[in-house]
Amino acid sequence: MASASMPRFRLVELTGGDPFAEFARDVAAGLTAEPKHLSCCYFYDREGSRLFEAICELPEYYLTRAETEILERHAREIASLFQGDVTVIELGSGNAVKTRLVLDALLPGRRVRYVPIDICRPVLEESAADLLQRFPPLEIVAVAAEYHEGLRHLRSESDRPRLILWLGSNIGNFTRAEAATFLGRIRDTMTSADRMLVGVDLRKDRAVLEAAYDDAAGVTAAFNRNLLARINYELNGNFDLSAFQHRAIYNEDLGRIEMYLASTRVQSVTIGRIGLTVRFAAGETIHTENSYKYSQAELNAVATAAGLKDQCFWQDAAGRFSLHLLARRTDSAET
């Protein structure tokens, strides 16, 4: 497909350690904790990634459409901020559909290297194949890794100005303090020529938010329950998926959607691979995800704490979502 001397595609796998052991350890810890919880990073096996793509098309899940609208309107302006060749790094790239808008705007007249970082390797391979076909001049270095491992790779991609994409409200899975810490670590890898583009879901009416995370077709419910299906087949569990109800609640004080799976009855579940039996009371919940929403002030506070400055931002016409262009802050407050 590519010339022998300069392969257009490389895949780097940075999944440190045994992924099954890590999953087993996290599930054991989360289901023996009080209250019970599971990490949302385990949503994205192949089926979960497919369900998430379906969520992005739901009428209630406005986030993807709002962000696409912003990118359609402003990708050219964003591209014009860069001179010469660039490297586009994307954290949690998924199917990279929105990324096409950025690449399409950047490519004329320059070389672009795209470095998607995602935990789901099959999704990385599929989206890379699609992009290589759409954009013949593109060079791709795909990194199969979690954010933290992916960060290590970030440091090695430093020969050109970089645009780091963290789209889709992926920042929402972090607490605000964690987001500041994580952005700060990215900032430490940035030069003054680098920029970061962060997609943030804004605080809004409870009804709109709760519908976005509890759609009428039940796709988000299936996405949430898929976590239990994954425990069943990867860790030899016997969860009865129909005995857990999906819940999405907006916690307005904390500005976050909380997702739960609630046991519909008293039950015991056995997870063979970790030799664990878990008891559930009727109505007892497993907390599976937080999705933080931001005000402009909250986003600014997080960026500032990370040593970044909010150079400019754009919103969709309905004011539901915003995209922030962040640069390294180089004032005297810097340590």
Of the ranges 14-22, 118-126, 138-146, 163-171, which one interacts with ligand AVJ (CB under 6 A)?
163-171
Residues that bind ligand AVJ (rule: CB under 6 A) add up to a total of 11
**CB nearer ligand AVJ, residue 9 or residue 174:** 174
**CB nearer ligand AVJ, residue 114 or residue 213:** 213
**CB nearer ligand AVJ, residue 63 or residue 308:** 63
Task: Mark 315-333 as b/e (b = at least 16 C-beta within 10 Å).
Answer: bbeeebbbbbbbbbbeeee
Q: Which listed residue (30, 172, 237, 307) binds ligand AVJ by CB under 6 A? A: 172
Asked if residue 322 binds ligand AVJ (CB under 6 A), the reply is no
Asked if residue 289 binds ligand AVJ (CB under 6 A), the reply is yes
Q: Which listed residue (291, 306, 310, 322) binds ligand AVJ by CB under 6 A? A: 291
3-state secondary structure of 145: coil
Burial of 57 (0-12, 13-18, 19+ CB in 10 A): exposed
Asked if residue 168 binds ligand AVJ (CB under 6 A), the reply is yes
Asked if residue 170 binds ligand AVJ (CB under 6 A), the reply is yes
* 152 Rama class: left (phi>0) / alpha (psi -120 to 50) / beta: alpha
H or E element in which residue 141 lies: strand 139-144
* Cα–Cα dist 250/253, whole Å: 9
* Cα–Cα dist 242/225, whole Å: 9
**CB nearer ligand AVJ, residue 63 or residue 154:** 63
Going by the DSSP 8-state scheme, the letter that residue 156 receives in this structure is H
Asked if residue 173 binds ligand AVJ (CB under 6 A), the reply is yes
Asked if residue 220 binds ligand AVJ (CB under 6 A), the reply is yes
Residues 63-102, mask of contacts with ligand AVJ (x by CB under 6 A): x---------------------------------------
Residues 6+ apart with CB under 8 A from 178: none
203's tokens: 């605080």
Task: Mark 259-269 as b/e (b = at least 16 C-beta within 10 Å).
Answer: bbbebeeebeb
In the complex, least distance from residue 173 CB atom to ligand AVJ, rounded to whole angstroms: 5
Contacts to ligand AVJ by CB under 6 A: 55, 63, 168-170, 172-173, 213, 220, 289, 291
